[in-house]
Amino acid sequence: MDRIVLDSPVGRMALECEGEALTALYLPHRLAEPVGAETPLLARGRAELEEYFQGKRRVFDLPLAPKGTPFQQRVWQELAKVPWGTVVTYGELAVRVGSPKACRAVGQANHNNPLPIFLPCHRVVGANGSLTGYAGGLDVKQWLLQLEGVL
């Protein structure tokens, strides 16, 4: 496992990989220390995040390997399909993963998303469009959605 620390407009983050895939992005409130070296994959991840924060990148092109339960994996796969500048509700996401009554479980999967931004859980909002819950804090969620032109 290798991990680098990078600065972003929302604070310092850490990006982690194992082998040939990214496994975690630590948002500012839970910053992790660097480990190992900056691999070519981590350098690409840093570059793609910088492009995203500049509004130049709307789709990430990196191998991802988030670790989680089968249900979490289904939720995260659906998150990856939510395009830049759009939002979905927890209920809509629950329907998409085939569990229409599992809104809270979808919320928990979002909370445990190890690759926020890459798997855009910030694009999930409450049923009334409100900015509810975000592991990185509502201020970061709001900033990301403003960047994408949603707010």
Q: Are strands 21-26 and 11-18 parallel, antiparallel or unpaired?
A: antiparallel
**E-assigned strands of 27-142?**
88-89, 124-125
Tokens of 34: 């660097």
Q: What residues act catalytically? A: 121
Closest CA to 73 of 46, 110, 99: 110
Q: Which of 24, 136, 78, 29 is nearest to 90 (CA)?
A: 78
